[in-house]
Amino acid sequence: MAWHAVAKAEDVAEGTVRAASAAGIMLALYRIDGAFYATSDVCTHAFALLSDGYLDGDCIECPIHQALFHVPTGEVRSEPASVPLKTYPIRLEGDTLMVEIAED
């Protein structure tokens, strides 16, 4: 496992999602009620970027078929997706957001 710098905290505004990448992984970064979260940016149903989706409270809605995922846990809250979203540990180091990704 290794920590990767992915963005500045100021780049992820409260109540928003934005795309990032680290170690070849496409990530979606979120700030919800002051807390940061990181998930895979790719929907588990088909290919869509969740960073293009709609953040509704602590859930992200896929922009293609409107599956709903719970951001902190990755669990599916609404079909058509059935596979949970991968989540990644995230922490703030100074003003830099760091995400932990397993090394292959």
Instruction: Provide the binding-site residues for ligand FES, judged by CB under 6 A.
Output: 43, 45-46, 48, 62, 64-65, 67, 80-81
CB nearer to ligand FES: give 40 or 101: 40
Report helix, strand or coil for 38: strand
CB nearer to ligand FES: give 45 or 70: 45
CB nearer to ligand FES: give 81 or 98: 81
β-strands 76-78, 90-93 pairing: unpaired
Cβ proximity of 82 and 74 under 8 Å? no
Report helix, strand or coil for 6: strand
Q: How far is the CB of 76 from ligand FES (least distance, A)?
A: 10
